[in-house]
Structure 1
Amino acid sequence: MSRDPAPPTPTLSQLRALIAVAQAGSFGEAAAELGVSQSSLSEAVGRLEAMTGRPLLRRTPGGTVATAAGERVLAHARAAVQAAGDVLLAAQDSGELSGTLRVAAYRSVATHLLPPALATFRRAHPGVRTVLLDGDTEETDAELALRTGRADAAVVVQGHTPGLHLTPLVYDEYLFVAPAARGDHPATLEELSGQTLFLPPGRDQCHRLVRQYLEREGVSLSGLTENPQDSVILSMVAHGLGVTILPRLALHPLPGGLVSLPLPGGLSRPLALAVLPWRAHLPLLRAFTDTLTRTLAARVPGGPPTPPPGAWPPALH
């Protein structure tokens, strides 16, 4: 009995080519990053498109982007390439780790929480190269970097990340920040709605959490002004141009000329380390998760604190 011929199967190099071009936005930049010729990259993507029977990329004035079919293929391509690398990672012994660990995190977390853990991890596992990715920008959003395979782990706000394996870390309280001349008497809702309020851009999760809090408390947003740089926001506030609400980690150390106070009713972001569920068992990720939680527990006796009021804001939409 004759057998039907096996369907063509994409190679890892073809999948890597598609991922590289989609991520770089052009064949030229992708070829330079991979260290191959542009023609070989075009040929690899062309063969993949021939197998699927439809275009996966299209050129636009802004660069090369994935088609609708390409977006669907990319999700599986990233998973396949990642799984191939995980074959080797899974075989490692926790005592002799090697490879690259990429962690995406908000700048405030990367500044104050991760360095001690990364230093401890490097001493214990010198064969692992660690890379810290900025999780505050649209291009390197922490959760997106994790889901698309650009990061192996990410610090995220727990409660807004379905489908991820989460390890709770700490609660980061949001504080009302005003000019020091205001004094340190408690902040009021009337004060929040009575002047210019500086916040990060609307795409930023910090903005969305604070906005939900303000809307829930009935605070007017008519004076809302957006700025992408925390340092600029704090300078504007110090000069009496308005007030802001930022996480405690983003305010440490608090610049001169400012006062920070708890919000009426309280608001916190519960931070967690996220990994893809099917990768949580990898020795490399287990070792880093253990190191991070132990380091934070040593800095906070008794472990993570009890969730404060407002620690679990409504789900983001």
Structure 2
Amino acid sequence: MHDSGKGISRNEKPASSRVNWNDARAFLAVARLGTLSGAASTLGVGVATLARRIERLETTMKVPLFVRQQSGYRLTAEGEALVPRAEALEAAGNAFASGVEDGSSMRGRVGLATAENLATRLILPALQTFRERYPGLAIDLVTDISTANLHRRDADLAIRMVKPERGNVSFRRLGTLGYGLYASADYLARRGAESEADGFDDDAFITWNERQAHLPAAQWVARILQGRVPALTTTSLHTQVVAASAGLGLAVLPHLIARDTGLVCLDADLGVEQDIYLVIQTDLSRAPRVRALADFLGELVIDHRERLEAPGH
């Protein structure tokens, strides 16, 4: 009996179940950039070629990897699960091709979540050095870390002041963010020696509002006030620095933020230190693009430990 012509003939080999490396590269590029045009430009291929590679990979994997939308391509749950495996292939391919990691040839995007103060005062001023080392890597910076979630892939890695207690993440402690009690010279002149001798009974304090009452700095001020109402509450460190500089009262601020503002440090050791952690989604911890940024940030924090831990002189 002969085959009807449909399906696979006896003289043909079935399609390979092995993933073609070019298809895996296409998948990673679309997953990272979210559009066929952007991924095609990054890989130096045509949009039609890229689309065929994605379709071929989906056929090989026997699952849909993307949801096609007008705005671009969004990973399915199956696609999300495939990303770490594809990145492992990428790492192996890079190692095989060069034997040594070549920063100039690395491509892709890396999502970083961190606090606004660390981003503006520490990371962004140093980021050009990273860009020169890895010109093909783009950084997606998220500073609203209260809503950023590594498990939702809002970011690939994070620099946090809270130790992770759960989830499939890897982390290590990098250093300490030190805090001190700060005020303007004008406020201290009005405060006088008599108020200083009496402690903080007559002092005005600038602190966090109720939503941030759990923060160590806010808790320190609450212990000092013992039920008294603070002069001003805010929702950001920037506004606290401006308020303290305007002479509105005393504020508990990170040394990193307060240095070079002209504020005077009354007490450099309040016991309000916060540990700084590098947190990476475990499945991505060996991905070259993520590892490159993680190593850079780790070195950056360690190199600036004095700025982070102590007041300026």
Q: TM-score, normalised by structure 1?
A: 0.59
Query: 169, 175, 178: which is aligned to 2:180?
Result: 175
Q: What's the counterpart of residue 280 of structure 2?
A: 275
Change (3 A) 1:154 1:99: same
Q: What's the counterpart of residue 291 of structure 2?
A: 286
List aligned pairs for 1:198-213, cutoff 5 A: 198-204=206-212, 208-213=215-220
What is the Cα deviation at residue 204 of structure 1?
4.1
Q: What's the counterpart of residue 154 of structure 1?
A: 158
Within the alignment, does 1:239 sit opposite 2:246 as a pair? yes
| In structure 2, distance between residues paired with 1:78 and 1:201 | 40
Q: Which has the larger radius of gyration?
A: 2
- The answer to whether the 8 Å contact 1:190/1:219 transfers is no
Change (3 A) 1:234 1:287: closer
| In structure 2, distance between residues paired with 1:189 and 1:226 | 25
Q: What's the counterpart of residue 139 of structure 2?
A: 130
- The answer to whether the 8 Å contact 2:64/2:76 transfers is no
Change (3 A) 1:107 1:192: farther
Within the alignment, does 1:98 sit opposite 2:102 as a pair? no
Provide the secondary structure at the position in 2 that maps to 1:266.
coil
| In structure 1, distance between residues paired with 2:203 and 2:266 | 17
Change (3 A) 1:151 1:204: farther
After TM superposition, the structure 1 stretch with the greater mean CA deviation from structure 2, 279-288 or 82-91, is 82-91
| In structure 1, distance between residues paired with 2:151 and 2:260 | 32
Query: 218, 222, 228: which is aligned to 2:235?
Result: 228
| In structure 1, distance between residues paired with 2:273 and 2:76 | 34
Q: What's the counterpart of residue 87 of structure 2?
A: 89
Change (3 A) 1:120 1:161: farther
- The answer to whether the 8 Å contact 2:206/2:251 transfers is yes
What is the Cα deviation at residue 175 of structure 1?
1.5
List aligned pairs for 1:1-317, cutoff 5 A: 11-14=64-67, 34-35=71-72, 80-92=78-90, 93=94, 94-95=101-102, 96-115=105-124, 117-135=126-144, 140-141=145-146, 144-159=148-163, 161-163=165-167, 164-181=169-186, 182=188, 191-192=199-200, 194-204=202-212, 208-214=215-221, 217=223, 219-224=225-230, 225-254=232-261, 256=262, 258-262=263-267, 265-300=270-305
Aligned-partner residue type, residue 270 of structure 1: D
Change (3 A) 1:300 1:291: same
- The answer to whether the 8 Å contact 2:177/2:275 transfers is yes
| In structure 2, distance between residues paired with 1:188 and 1:79 | 60
What is the Cα deviation at residue 120 of structure 1?
2.9
Q: Which runs of 5+ in 2 are unaligned?
A: 1-61, 95-100
What is the Cα deviation at residue 194 of structure 1?
4.2
| In structure 1, distance between residues paired with 2:229 and 2:258 | 22
Aligned-partner residue type, residue 273 of structure 1: L
Aligned-CA RMSD value: 3.8
Q: Which runs of 5+ in 1 are unaligned?
A: 1-8, 18-30, 42-76, 309-317
Change (3 A) 1:78 1:173: farther
- The answer to whether the 8 Å contact 1:120/1:291 transfers is no
What is the Cα deviation at residue 198 of structure 1?
2.0
- The answer to whether the 8 Å contact 1:174/1:268 transfers is yes
Change (3 A) 1:158 1:235: closer
Provide the secondary structure at the position in 2 that maps to 1:131.
strand
- The answer to whether the 8 Å contact 1:174/1:245 transfers is yes
What is the Cα deviation at residue 270 of structure 1?
1.2
Aligned-partner residue type, residue 207 of structure 2: L
| In structure 2, distance between residues paired with 1:253 and 1:180 | 14
Sequence identity (%): 21
Aligned-partner residue type, residue 145 of structure 1: N
Provide the secondary structure at the position in 2 that maps to 1:231.
helix
Q: TM-score, normalised by structure 2?
A: 0.60
Q: What's the counterpart of residue 24 of structure 1?
A: none
| In structure 2, distance between residues paired with 1:169 and 1:109 | 13
